[in-house]
Amino acid sequence: AQSVTQLDSQVPVFEEAPVELRCNYSSSVSVYLFWYVQYPNQGLQLLLKYLSGSTLVKGINGFEAEFNKSQTSFHLRKPSVHISDTAEYFCAVSLRQAGTALIFGKGTTLSVSS
Q: Which residues bind another protein (CB under 8 A)?
A: 31-32, 36, 42-46, 49, 51, 90, 94-107
Which CB contacts under 8 angstroms, 24+ apart, belong to 43-51? 44/90, 47/76, 47/89, 48/76, 50/74
Q: Collapsing DSSP states into helix, strand and coil, what is residue 85? A: helix
Between 25 and 90, CB nearer to another protein: 90
Between 97 and 114, CB nearer to another protein: 97
Q: How far is the CB of 38 from another protein (least distance, A)?
A: 9
Rounded Cα gap, residues 42 and 46, in angstroms: 13
Q: How far is the CB of 57 from another protein (least distance, A)?
A: 13
Between 40 and 70, CB nearer to another protein: 40
CA of residue 108 relative to chain centroid, distance:
9
Q: How far is the CB of 54 from another protein (least distance, A)?
A: 16
